[in-house]
Structure formats: structure tokens, C-alpha cells
């Protein structure tokens, strides 16, 4: 196993309006121009707007060490000077361990396969590697980033828990077991979608099955055949074989009243949904705060809806996002991507070289 070493973290922690805002700087082997962070890295940064994202730090490390994919961030090893102990933690906890401690070093296990799909959750992210391994990083207070071992073919990151389809087509879920949302039914499935308090999955015959909370009938799907499912907060939607959408559950903002006509893909958010028409244009319905359900014109190849924002991949592989931009959610990087995933925070996207880049996080962690 090869270890890549290169970043030193220094920082401090303060309490701001009940939230722990982590202010840290990344002292790296090479300068970074990301988010205005460049040149001399010798001093901690007090302005969190200029704080480099954790993924940026790992990208610098990857470049500076001549290769390897450290964006998974799951094999981050923190060796603290305080007690001399070495512990393996996720990236956020490594940052937390570094608070007030100078000389904290990061080691990255760069021996994994490349990413093939990414799914953003609630201040955490999960991604599927080419060998079927699932890697998660970010918040881990309820073991939401502690992915189980084994090979998977799909993963869906939710708000408090995640679910994945194993290679034998069974479902595995991990994280907060509220409303038994992490206890999936037995049997074979072909797609799963994780919601905040419940999850839904497609059986091999196209029928939907949901488990967890059943507020306003969200876990009681209609007797229909679907080709794709998405779980929201209090509603769900499915794409039928004829391309029409069907939704069930709460309909406070019209989120369960889809427009007529054919879609090729749908994405379900907490309070609104978006779909791609056959010509690639996007149409959204439901809550429209901040223009969330008012997508820009033009065509997309893939779309993803988050809590207060939505994003799509253009035919030229650029990403465009719309909705709220309080934490830079809709300020997209000037890069090309093959897939994008929006949820609470952050937004993450898959590059053509099979690495992951994330943006839009008030903790500076993505």
C-alpha cells in the first residue's frame, strides 16, 4: 500500500450562532489558486470565504505527489502532536483534530480505483469506485460516512442515511436508523433513492417499494411500473416506461403534480422536482423560492435537484446551477464534468478523469 504525504493543517474553532465554523488553512506542497487561496500558505486564514475546501487540499496533494486519487478522503490519517497517537479518520474529523494543533500531517491511501458515480448528501458525500467500493466523506456523527464493505453497483446519499445496491442486487443502508430507514426489505432491486426519513427502491419488475417514515403516504407507493425513482422529503416521484412522471405524498407546493408529457430523466428534491424533456430542456415543478423551479433555457444531458438549488450538465459538459447561492452553490467551477449531484451541501461533480470536485459549503468542507 502506497502512502502519499503532503498537507499540514493548522487552524482554530469558534462558535457562531450555534454552528461550529471551522477555520483552517492548508499548508501544502504546492500553491492553490482555488477560491483565492494561493502563494504563501504559512499563516492560517481567518476569512472563511477564502478557506480552501478539503477537496482542494487533496487535489493539491494529488498533483504535488505526482498522481493518485486522494479525493476519496476516507483514508486520512491524523498524527497529532498532542498525544502522539495515529488515528484513521474521515477528512472532516481530521480537520477537527487539527484545530489548535500545529504540525498535523495527512496521509492518503491512493491505491483505490477511480470514481464512476458521485452522490451528494447532507454535508457529506458518497461515491462509487470502479471496483464497486463505496467511499463517503464529510460529517460522520451518526456513521453516515461509514460505508459498509463489499461491492456495490449504485449508491444514493440521503440527509441522515445512505443506501446502495450491492452486486447481488440487495439493498444496504447505513447512517441514522430513524424510522427504521436503514432497515431495507429483502429481495432484489435495481435502483434505490435515499430520502431524509425514508427510502424508495425499484424491484426488478419495476414496482416501487419504500420504507421508513410514512408521513402523508410517502412510503405507500402507487401500484405502477417505473423505470426510475426519486425520494424527496415528504413526496416521491417515478418515471414510467412511457416517459410520464407520477408523484405521491405531500403536495404543498405542487411538487406531487407533475406536468404532462414525456421526460427522459427526473430528479426529486425535498420540495420540488426537475425533469429533462426529450430535447434536453429542463422543466421543474413545486417550490420556486429563489428561482429553484425556474431552470435556465437550453439543453442538458443530466440534472440534479438539491434543497435550495439545482444543477445540470450541458452538452459541452459544463455545469450550470440555479436557485439560492448563499454558500456559492450556483457559482460553478470552470471545468468539464460527466455527472453532477446536488443535495443539501455541498454540490459534487464527476470529472472526465474520474476524480470528484465539490463546491458550496459553509464549513469549507466538501
Q: pLDDT tens, 273-289?
A: 999 999 999 999 999 99
Residue 48 has pLDDT above 80, yes or no: no
Q: How many residues does the chain have?
A: 366
Q: What is the mean pLDDT of residues 161-187?
A: 97
* Cα–Cα dist 339/82, whole Å: 41
Reading the block at residue 298, the C-alpha cell is 437550453
Reading the block at residue 191, the C-alpha cell is 435502483
> Residues 6 or more apart from 83 whose CB is under 8 A from it?
none
* Cα–Cα dist 189/203, whole Å: 4
Percent of the chain with pLDDT over 90: 60
Residue 253 has pLDDT above 60, yes or no: yes
- Quick check: 164 and 155 in contact, CB under 8 A? yes
* Cα–Cα dist 197/211, whole Å: 9
- Quick check: 64 and 6 in contact, CB under 8 A? yes
pLDDT band at 114 (very low <50, low <70, confident <90, very high): confident
* Cα–Cα dist 329/320, whole Å: 10
pLDDT band at 56 (very low <50, low <70, confident <90, very high): very low
* Cα–Cα dist 216/249, whole Å: 5
Reading the block at residue 36, the C-alpha cell is 483565492
Q: What is the mean pLDDT of residues 51-63?
A: 40
Highest mean pLDDT among 47-56, 130-139, 238-247, 340-349: 238-247
pLDDT tens profile 180-237: 999 999 999 999 999 999 999 999 999 999 999 999 999 999 999 999 999 999 999 9
Three state DSSP letters for 5-66: EEEEEEEEEEEECCEEEEEEEEECCCCCCHHHCCCCCCCCCCCHHHCCCHHHHHHHHHHHCC
Q: What is the mean pLDDT of residues 88-116?
A: 45
* Cα–Cα dist 45/66, whole Å: 27
Highest mean pLDDT among 52-61, 82-91, 313-322: 313-322
Domain 115-359 has CATH 2.130.10.30: yes
Q: Between 195 and 85, where is the model more confident?
A: 195
Residue 71 has pLDDT above 90, yes or no: no
- Quick check: 302 and 315 in contact, CB under 8 A? no
Taking alpha carbons only, the member of 338, 351, 343 closest to residue 157 is 343
* Lowest mean pLDDT across 53-57, 153-157, 161-165, 172-176: 53-57
For residue 195, say if its preceding peptide bond is cis, omega within 30 degrees of 0.
no
- Quick check: 275 and 283 in contact, CB under 8 A? yes
> What is the structure's pLDDT at 93?
40
* Cα–Cα dist 166/319, whole Å: 29
pLDDT band at 109 (very low <50, low <70, confident <90, very high): very low
Query: ∠ CA 313-314-317 to the nearest 5 degrees?
Result: 75
Q: What is the mean pLDDT of residues 242-269?
A: 98
> What is the structure's pLDDT at 121?
93
Residue 263 has pLDDT above 70, yes or no: yes
CATH 2.130.10.30 domain range(s) in the chain: 115-359
Residue 160 has pLDDT above 50, yes or no: yes
* Lowest mean pLDDT across 32-41, 135-144, 278-287, 345-354: 32-41
Amino acid at each position: 500500500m502506497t502512502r502519499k504525504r503532503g498537507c499540514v493543517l493548522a487552524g482554530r474553532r469558534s462558535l457562531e450562532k450555534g454552528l461550529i465554523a471551522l477555520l483552517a488553512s492548508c499548508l501544502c506542497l504546492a500553491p492553490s489558486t482555488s477560491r483565492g487561496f494561493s502563494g504563501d500558505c504559512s499563516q492560517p486564514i481567518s476569512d472563511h470565504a477564502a478557506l480552501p475546501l478539503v477537496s482542494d487540499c487533496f487535489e493539491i496533494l494529488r498533483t504535488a505527489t505526482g498522481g493518485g486519487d486522494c479525493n476519496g478522503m476516507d483514508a486520512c490519517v491524523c498524527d497529532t502532536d498532542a498525544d502522539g497517537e495515529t488515528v484513521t479518520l474521515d477528512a472532516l474529523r481530521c480537520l477537527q483534530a487539527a484545530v489548535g494543533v500545529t504540525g498535523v500531517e495527512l496521509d492518503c491511501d491512493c491505491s483505490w480505483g477511480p470514481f464512476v458515480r458521485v452522490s451528494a448528501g447532507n454535508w457529506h458525500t458518497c461515491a462509487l469506485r470502479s471496483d464497486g467500493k463505496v467511499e463517503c466523506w464529510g460529517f460522520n456523527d451518526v456513521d453516515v460516512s461509514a460505508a459498509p464493505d463489499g461491492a456495490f453497483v449504485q449508491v444514493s446519499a440521503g440527509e441522515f442515511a445512505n443506501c446502495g445496491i450491492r452486486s447481488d442486487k440487495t439493498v444496504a443502508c447505513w447512517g441514522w436508523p430513524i424510522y427504521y430507514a436503514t432497515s431495507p426489505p429483502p429481495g432484489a432491486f435495481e435502483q434505490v433513492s435515499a430520502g431524509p426519513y425514508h427510502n424508495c427502491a425499484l424491484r426488478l419488475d419495476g414496482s416501487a417499494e419504500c420504507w421508513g417514515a410514512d408521513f402523508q403516504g410517502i412510503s405507500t407507493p402507487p401500484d405502477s411500473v417505473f423505470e426510475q425513482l426519486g425520494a424527496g422529503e415528504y413526496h416521491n416521484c417515478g418515471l414510467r416506461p412511457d416517459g410520464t412522471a407520477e408523484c405521491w405524498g405531500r403536495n404543498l407546493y405542487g411538487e406531487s403534480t407533475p406536468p404532462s408529457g414525456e421526460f427522459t430523466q427526473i430528479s426529486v428534491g425535498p420540495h420540488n422536482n426537475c425533469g429533462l424533456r426529450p430535447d434536453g430542456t429542463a422543466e421543474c415543478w413545486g417550490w420556486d423560492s429563489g428561482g429553484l423551479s425556474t431552470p435556465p433555457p437550453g439543453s442538458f444531458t443530466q440534472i440534479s435537484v438539491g434543497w435550495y438549488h439545482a444543477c445540470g450538465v450541458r452538452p459541452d459538459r459544463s455545469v450550470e446551477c440555479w436557485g439560492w447561492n448563499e454558500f456559492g452553490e450556483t457559482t460553478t467551477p470552470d471545468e468539464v464534468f460527466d455527472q453532477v449531484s446536488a443535495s443539501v451541501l455541498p454540490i459534487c461533480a464527476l470529472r472526465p478523469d474520474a476524480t470528484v470536485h465539490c463546491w458550496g459549503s459553509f464549513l469549507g468542507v466538501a
